[in-house]
Amino acid sequence: IACSLVALVWVMSAAAGISQSQLGYEVQQLTFGPAHHFYGYIGHVGNSPYSADGRHLIALRTTFQDRMPGPQDAADIVLLDATRKYAETKIEETRGWNPQQGAMMYWNPEQPSRQFFFNDRDPKTGKVFTVLYDIVDKKRVKEFRFDATPAANGGVKQDGGSFAAINYARMAQLRPVTGYPAAWDWTEGVNHPQDDGLFVVDVKSGTRKLIVSFRQMRDALIGKYPHLDDRALFLNHTLWNREGDRIFFFVRADFNDPKRRVNIPMTVKPDGSELVEQSIFIGGHPEWDFRSRMIGRVKENLVLYDTLKQEIVEIIGGPEMFRDPEGDTALSRDGRWIVNGAPTGATMHYTILRRSDRTYIKTEDFSRAGYTGGDLRIDPAPCWNREGDRFAFPALAKDGTRQMFEVRVVVKK
């Protein structure tokens, strides 16, 4: 890794010398209190609150932000209408959500101005499932329920047709910030279940396949990591690449204990073949670029990493450009823009980078005071629109409520 960083240091030097005068930005608050509004998760792998036609954004609306939701705490799902000054309309509600990731809402790539996925849970059984909702017909057009082993959306294939599914009840026990508290878990007390892991759901047929189980993960890694035998594994961040032929994810355990933490990056094909440990750790919130390459952090740099070659192929920028490369990074759909959200204590700001000439600009600071860590934290979570000229993000408004904001990128003549 060190050799690669030295060999590519010229890229950082070039980036540092480019004028920022060509770029500007404008900020707009999209939602307002007294209720809290947020989208959740990170705007990577094509995830975005913006519909393809640009008319609507989807968001959650809640009455509290100072505790995790219980089984009966439903959040409203609202549509924000950009043609009517982001007027909001409640269209649904969900009991499958948390403050950091929301309800894992994704516009359906096959109907990206009309349908979106979100997670929910049955109030009687506590079992999680995924919903496909149609905003024109104003109804749930499909529910993906798997009663024996209930798992829900963890990431939609970027060109549609499938989504990854994971066990949010298991995560609620092992990594609460990412789970749904008190959801029904069939794997409780089992370290490496054979009937849980990474699922892939076919949207059209509604069928599902377990492509790699926790037992398979354990068996693939135990030779190198013998301590996994007594650890309860879970997984996070199931990210489809743009071409749909690879899924990236983390195998994790004891995540809240730095001395015992397991945090292993892996990739696998959607059919379950070619399960591979990635030899270089590129941070906790990486983003797919094109083909086999990912954007992530190594030391103080934001880098481009090839998952097939397992090597760093480019340094995108260093500390002069990115205050915290470990922060949330999102790539615009056309690949021309990178935004990196950098949290520092009670505030966060964004670096906006144009890749063609490495021109960049940094925004002002936004507040997340009181929600800087733990299960209720506000992550920067920038989410590009489809055109790549603006992104939405969560922050605290002046009245202390959690709201959605937008930065519009201004390219100066």
Q: What is the pLDDT of residues 95-145, one digit of tens each?
A: 999 999 999 999 999 999 999 999 999 999 999 999 999 999 999 999 999
pLDDT of residue 2: 44
Mean pLDDT of 234-255: 95
Query: pLDDT value at position 186?
Result: 97
Predicted confidence (pLDDT) per residue in 362-409, tens digit: 999 999 999 999 999 999 999 999 999 999 999 999 999 999 999 999
Q: What tokens appear for 243 in the block?
A: 């071409």
H/E segment holding residue 288: strand 287-288
Looking from the CA of 227 toward its CB, the CA atoms found within 13 Å total 9
Q: How far is CA 175 from CA 41, 255, 381, in A?
A: 15, 7, 19
pLDDT band at 20 (very low <50, low <70, confident <90, very high): low
For residue 8, pLDDT beyond 50: no
- The pLDDT of residue 359 is 95
pLDDT, residue 407, reads 98
Residue 160 in this model has a pLDDT that exceeds 80? yes
What is the pTM for the complete model shown?
Answer: 0.93
Q: What six digits make up the tokens of 357?
A: 């000439």
The three-point CA angle 261-264-267 to 5° equals 160
* CB 394, CB 376: distance < 8 Å: no
Residue 32 pLDDT exceeds 90 = yes
Non-local CB neighbours of 333 within 8 Å, separated by 6+ positions? 46, 384, 386, 388
Q: What per-residue confidence (pLDDT) applies to 305?
A: 98
Query: What is the arithmetic mean of pLDDT over 304-320?
Result: 96
**Mean pLDDT, residues 255-279:** 93
Spatial CA neighbour of 112 closest among 404, 393, 333: 333
Band (pLDDT 50/70/90 cuts) for residue 278 is: very high
Average pLDDT score over the chain: 93
Distance CA 267, CA 264 (A): 10
What is the C-alpha to C-alpha distance for residues 281 and 285, in angstroms, rounded to an integer? 11
